[in-house]
Amino acid sequence: GYASTEIKKRLKSAQIAPHIIRRAAIASYELEMNLVVHSEGGELIAEYSPQTLQITAKDSGPGIPDIESAMTAGWSTASEWIRSLGFGAGMGLPNVKSVSDDFTIESGRNGTTVVCTIELHPNHEEE
């Protein structure tokens, strides 16, 4: 998607390590696709600091009735049509969590918010 491509470009221009860019690209793409496939509208927000990238996906969809199940690899609510297009394998949220240094998800009747944080310089100690 467009948003994940823009995040990747910005991290490359900041000379972030390729393995960190890959993690950010995976997280942002999965969250972007979830917004398209599962919600009724939303936004993907990338916030940069010298140490971290925080990606927030907020939607106005119906919410996730069972977050624990949604975090299980292979669990999906995607329609057959979405699956026929190659999406909806049930790996999106587990993938985002696996590449995040911090991950939170909140969901209710008015939508879902997922926040993932990725350390941009994980080998550098803060002074």
Domain boundaries, the chain: 2-119
Q: How far is the C-alpha of 114 from the C-alpha of 95, rounded, in Å?
A: 13
Which fold is adopted by the domain 2-119?
Heat Shock Protein 90 (3.30.565)
Crossing angle of helices 18-38 and 92-99, rounded to 10°: 150
Closest CA to 36 of 105, 106, 86, 102: 86
pTM of the model: 0.85
Quick one: tokens of 115? 């926040």
- At 77 the three-state DSSP class reads coil
What is the chain's pLDDT, residue by residue, as a tens digit (127 residues)?
889 999 999 999 999 999 999 999 999 999 998 888 878 889 999 999 999 999 999 998 788 888 888 888 877 777 677 777 666 666 789 899 999 999 999 999 889 999 999 999 987 554 4
